[in-house]
Amino acid sequence: MTLYWRIFLLNASVLLVAVLLLFGPVTVSTPVLPGEAVVLVAGLVAMLLANAFLLRVGLAPLQRLTRAMRTADLLKPGRRSEVAGRGEIADLTRTFDTMLGRLEAERAASSARALSAQEAERHRIAQELHDEVGQTLTAVLLQLKHAADHAPAELRTELHQAQETTRAGLDEIRRIARRLRPGVLEELGLHSALRSLASEFSTRGLTVRPHIEAGLPKLDHETELVLYRVAQEGLTNTARHAGATRVGLSLRRLPGGGVGLLVEDDGRGIGGAPDGAGLRGMRERALLIGAELSVRAGANGGTEVRLDTTSDRAATS
C-alpha cells in the first residue's frame, strides 16, 4: 500500500467513526446544549489525538530514514538504515542504503587515486630537493670553505658563520625530504621507520617513546605506508598543538590477527575542536585499507590516536 493511501485510509477511518457516532448515541440539537458541546469538543480532541498517533506510527520509518540521511558520513562507512515493513518507505530505505554503499565505494576509489597521486608528488618533490637543492647547497658549502681557507683573517669568521647557516639549511632540506619520502620505510621496513620517526620528533621539550612488539605479521606496502603516515600526522599534531611533554608510539598485534597503532600524548586534549585537514587525511588513509581510526581523549588526559588494521592486510608470500 502506498504512503498516500495509507494516510488517506487512516484519516477516513477516524472520520467514519465520528459519523457513525452522530447517527448513533451522539446527537446535536438546535440550539446546541452545553452537554452536546462538551461531547463534540471531546470528540474532536479524540479524533485529533487518534489521527496524530496513527500518523506518527505510519511515518516513523520515514523519520528514521531522515535521521540516517542527516547523519550519514562517507568517512565513517558501514552505517545503514534499518529496513522495516514493506511499501514505499521500505523501498526508499533500501534505495538509500544502496546509494550510500555506492557513494562509499566511489569515495574510497577516488581517495585512493588522490592519495596515490599525492605520494607520487611527494616522492618527486623529495627527489628534487635531494638532487637539485641539496647538491646546490653542498656546492655552496664547498665554495665557502675554499673562500674561508684563502680569505683574510677579518673575513674568515663571517665566512664560517655563512657555512654554518648553509649547513643548517642543508640539514633542514634533508629533513623535509625524509618526511616527504620515507626512504627508511622502503629500505628497512616499518619498525625502523617508526623508531626513526620517534627519534626525529623527540626534542628538548617533547619525549617520544616507541614500543614495537616483536613477532608482528608482515604487512603489505600500502598498509605500512598508511600506518607510517598516520603516526607521522599524529606526532605532527602533538608537536604543534598539544603542548605535550611525553608521547607514546606503539605498534602491537591485535587479538583478531591485525596490527594496531597507538599514538598517545599527555597534552591538553582535543576538546571540542572540529576535524581539520590532517584528521580527515588520516580517516581517508584508514579507509584505503579498511582500518578503523579513532581519535579521542586519552584515559589520563591528552589525546589518543588509534588505528586498527584487519588480519587480511598481511602481505602474501
Burial readout 26-56 (b: 16 or more C-beta within 10 A, e: otherwise): eeeeeeeeeeeeebeeeeeeeeeebbeebee
Distance CA 289, CA 248 (A): 24
- pLDDT tens digits for 107-132? 777 777 777 777 778 778 877 877 77
Highest mean pLDDT among 35-39, 58-62, 194-198 belongs to 194-198
- pLDDT tens digits for 270-312? 766 556 667 777 888 888 777 888 888 877 778 888 888 876 6
What was the pLDDT predicted at 103? 80
**pLDDT reading at 195 higher than 80:** yes
What was the pLDDT predicted at 106? 77
What was the pLDDT predicted at 315? 55
Q: In DSSP terms, which residues pair with 162 in a beta bridge? A: none
User: Would you kindly state where each structural domain of the chain is located, as residue ranges?
Assistant: 3-104, 188-317
**pLDDT reading at 316 higher than 50:** no
Which one has a higher pLDDT value, 204 or 117? 117
Residue 297 backbone dihedrals phi, psi, to 5 degrees: -70, 140
Q: How confident is the model at residue 24 (pLDDT cuts 50, 70, 90)?
A: low
Distance CA 261, CA 234 (A): 11
What was the pLDDT predicted at 99? 82
Question: pTM for this one?
Answer: 0.61
127: left (phi over 0), alpha (psi -120 to 50) or beta: alpha
- pLDDT tens digits for 223-234? 888 888 888 888
Contacts of 201 (CB under 8 A, 6+ apart): 208, 235, 236, 238, 239, 247
Question: In whole numbers, what is the pLDDT of the chain averaged over residues?
Answer: 78
Q: H or E element: which one contains 263?
A: strand 259-265
Which one has a higher pLDDT value, 57 or 307? 307
pLDDT (average), residues 158-176: 84
**Which residue, among 110, 7, 73, has the nearest Cα to 279 in the 3D structure?**
73
Distance CA 196, CA 232 (A): 11
For domain 188-317, the CATH architecture is 2-Layer Sandwich (3.30)
